[in-house]
Chains A and B, each alone.
Chain A
Amino acid sequence: MTVWADALIEGVLLGGLYALFAAGLSLIFGIMRLVNLAHGDLIVFGAFVILTITAWLGLDPFAATLAALPIMFALGFALQYFLLNRTLGRELLPPLLVTFGLSIIIENGLLEFFSADSQRLRAGAIEIASVPLGHDIAIGVVPMLTLASAIGIILALNLVFYRTSLGRAFRATSDDLEIAQLMGIDNPRIFSVAMGLAFIVVTIAALYLGMRANFDPTVGPARLLYAFEAVIVGGLGSFWGTLAGGMIIGVAQTIGAQIDPEWQILAGHLAFLAVLVLKPRGLFPRATD
C-alpha cells in the first residue's frame, strides 16, 4: 500500500515539473498560436545560463536564477521581436521550421560551448532534505518546491491574464488580431512581451530541471515531448489544465514505474493517448477555440 501511495505522491510532484516545462509552451501557443519546437532546448539553455552564473559569481542556484531572469526576459523579447514575429502569418509551417532549426542550433551551440558532459546545479543540503509524512513516506524538499513553484507560476499567469490590462491585450490579440490592431495594440510588441514572460517561466523550469537530475545539451527534445503532452492533455490555452495535464503524465509515469521500471515512459505516453481518445480537445479546453 505504501509503495503505491509513494508512487502517487511522487507522480504528483513530478507533474509539477512537467507543468513548469509546459506552462511557457501553453502561454505562447495560447496568445499567438506559435508551436515552439525549441522550447525544450530553451529550458536546457536556461539551465546552462544558471550554471554559468553560479560558476562566475559563486551564487547558489536560486540566487543565480533570480539574476538570470532579466537576461532571459530580454533574450525572449529579442528572439520574438527580431526573428519569430517574421514567421507568423497565415501559414503554419514557417514558425514550425524556424523553431525546429532553432532547436538544432541551440543544442549544437551548447555542445560546442559546454561539451557533452553531464552537468548539475548544486544547491547543497537542500537537495537531499526531506519532510517525513507519516511512517515510511517522506517528501523531498526540492520536488515540493518544484510543485509549489509550478502552482505559483500558474497563479501568477492567471493573474496577469485575467486581472491586468496587459492580460486583456493578450486575450484580445489571441481572439482577433485584426481588431486588436484597431485598439492600438502593437502586436509585434505584445508578442515579444509574451515571449519574454515565457522565458521567465522557462528559466524557473530550468532551475528545477538542473537541480533534480543531471542534464547535458541533448536532453531538450524529451522535455519538449512531456511539455506538449501536458499542454494537450490539459486542453490548449488553459493554465490550470496544463498543471492537471502535467500531473496526469507524472502520475502515469511513476505508477507505470512501480509496476515495472521499464514501463515508466510508456505509461506516460499511454495516459496521453487515452486522454486524446476520450477527450480529443483535452480536459479543460477553452470555449472560444
Chain B
Amino acid sequence: MALLETRGLTAFYGDFQALYSIDTIVEAGETVAIIGANGAGKSTYLKAIAGLISGLPDSIRFDGLPIGALPAAEIMKRGIALVPEGRRLFPSLTVEENLLIGRWGRAAAGPWSLERIYALFPALRARRNSASTTLSGGEQQMTAIGRALISNPRLLLCDEISLGLAPIVIRNLYEALPRIKAEGTSVVLVEQDIVQATKVSDRIYCFQEGRLSLAGRPAELSREQIHLAYFGT
C-alpha cells in the first residue's frame, strides 16, 4: 500500500478549476518531485494534500485512510508537514520559537529534535534567538524546513524551497535532503528546476495547466519527454 495516494484529485479557487483529476502515488521512503511551469497547479496539489484546500474525502488517501476533507491541523497530526511556498515564518517568533511551534500539534517520537535540526543546519544555532525577520533567505528556508521536520512527519511536502535563493544556498539546502530521506521520511518536492528535481527524486510527476502530463522514474524519462510535458508543444 502506498503511503500517499491521490485519485481523481480536483481543486478549485472559487469558479476556477486549478487541478483536473490528478492520480499520483508516493511510496514510503520515496522522494517524489512535482515539476511544471508557473501556474501548472503544483502548489495547489501540495495545499490540497496539507488540507489548506478541502475536497472529497476519498480523493486523497494517507496510509490507506481518506484525508481529503480533513482540516489542516488534523492532517498535520497524522504526520504530513508542509514547508510552504515563500517560507512564511512567523515574524513575531524567534528562530527557535519558529522551530518549536512546529511540534504543537504532533510531538511524535522520531529522529528529529531541536538539537538534530541545529546539527542539520548549523547556521541556525547561532541565530536561534534572533527574530525570524532578520534572517537571510537561505536561513529562513532552513528554519521553515526545520519547523516542518521537528514534528517528525512521515511525509514532508516542500514547496519550491529554492525560490529566490542563490545557487550556492540552494546546493546547501539540497544537500540536506538525502539526510532527511535517510531517516525514513518520505518527501514530495515541488520544483521548477528540472535538473535539481531529477537528481534527487525516485519518481517524477509533471503538471501542465492543472493536468498530469508525465509520470515516471527519472532514469526512464528522456530530456525530450520532460521538455514536452513541461512546456507543452
A interface, CB within 8 angstroms of B: 165, 168-169, 171-172, 174-176, 178-187, 286-288
Instruction: List 21 A-B pairs, Cβ < 8 Å.
Output: A165-B100, A165-B101, A168-B101, A168-B104, A171-B90, A171-B93, A171-B97, A172-B93, A181-B52, A181-B71, A181-B73, A182-B52, A182-B76, A183-B73, A183-B76, A183-B147, A184-B73, A184-B104, A184-B105, A184-B106, A185-B104
The answer to whether B151 and A184 touch across the interface, beta carbons within 8 angstroms, is yes
A186-B101 Cα distance, complex, nearest whole Å: 13
Q: Given A184-B105, A184-B106, A185-B73, A179 and B91 touching (CB < 8 A)? A: no
A-B contact count (CB 8 A): 73
A11-B81 Cα distance, complex, nearest whole Å: 52
- Which residues of B from 67 to 109 have beta carbons under 8 Å from A? 71-73, 76-77, 81-82, 84, 88, 90-93, 97, 100-102, 104-106
Q: Does B50 contact A (CB under 8 A)?
A: yes
A202 to chain B, nearest CB (A): 25
Instruction: Report A-chain residues with C-beta under 8 Å of the C-beta of B100.
Output: 165, 168
The answer to whether A165 and B104 touch across the interface, beta carbons within 8 angstroms, is yes
A27 to chain B, nearest CB (A): 15
The answer to whether B104 and A179 touch across the interface, beta carbons within 8 angstroms, is no
Instruction: Report B-chain residues with C-beta under 8 Å of the C-beta of A165.
Output: 100-101, 104
What residue in chain B is nearest A161 (Cβ atoms)? B92
The answer to whether A175 and B91 touch across the interface, beta carbons within 8 angstroms, is yes
Q: Given A179-B84, A288-B91, A168 and B72 touching (CB < 8 A)? A: no
B interface, CB within 8 angstroms of A: 50-52, 71-73, 76-77, 81-82, 84, 88, 90-93, 97, 100-102, 104-106, 133, 147, 151
4 more contacts with CB within 8 A, not counting A184-B76, A287-B92, are A172-B93, A181-B52, A183-B73, A183-B104
The 4 closest A-B pairs by CB, nearest first: A184-B105, A181-B72, A184-B76, A175-B90
The answer to whether A175 and B92 touch across the interface, beta carbons within 8 angstroms, is yes
The answer to whether B93 and A175 touch across the interface, beta carbons within 8 angstroms, is yes
A13-B106 Cα distance, complex, nearest whole Å: 46
What residue in chain A is nearest B87 (Cβ atoms)? A179
A185-B147 Cα distance, complex, nearest whole Å: 14
The answer to whether B76 and A288 touch across the interface, beta carbons within 8 angstroms, is no
What residue in chain B is nearest A179 (Cβ atoms)? B88
A175-B89 Cα distance, complex, nearest whole Å: 9
Instruction: Report A-chain residues with C-beta under 8 Å of the C-beta of B92.
Output: 171, 174-175, 286-288
Instruction: Report A-chain residues with C-beta under 8 Å of the C-beta of B77.
Output: 184
Instruction: Report B-chain residues with C-beta under 8 Å of the C-beta of A171.
Output: 90, 92-93, 97
Instruction: Report B-chain residues with C-beta under 8 Å of the C-beta of A182.
Output: 50, 52, 72-73, 76, 81-82, 84
A169-B133 Cα distance, complex, nearest whole Å: 18
Instruction: Report A-chain residues with C-beta under 8 Å of the C-beta of B93.
Output: 168, 171-172, 175
The answer to whether A168 and B73 touch across the interface, beta carbons within 8 angstroms, is no
Instruction: Report B-chain residues with C-beta under 8 Å of the C-beta of A169.
Output: 101, 104
Instruction: Report B-chain residues with C-beta under 8 Å of the C-beta of A286.
Output: 92
A182-B75 Cα distance, complex, nearest whole Å: 8
Task: Count chain A CB atoms within 10 A of each CB in B52, B77, B90 and give the residue with the most.
Answer: B90
A49-B147 Cα distance, complex, nearest whole Å: 44
Instruction: Report A-chain residues with C-beta under 8 Å of the C-beta of B102.
Output: 183
Q: Given A181-B72, A181-B73, A186-B73, A168 and B88 touching (CB < 8 A)? A: no
A22-B50 Cα distance, complex, nearest whole Å: 38
The answer to whether B52 and A178 touch across the interface, beta carbons within 8 angstroms, is yes
Instruction: Report B-chain residues with C-beta under 8 Å of the C-beta of A287.
Output: 91-92
A176-B147 Cα distance, complex, nearest whole Å: 14
A56 to chain B, nearest CB (A): 41
A171-B133 Cα distance, complex, nearest whole Å: 14
Task: Count chain A CB atoms within 10 A of each CB in B50, B77, B93, B106 and give the residue with the most.
Answer: B93
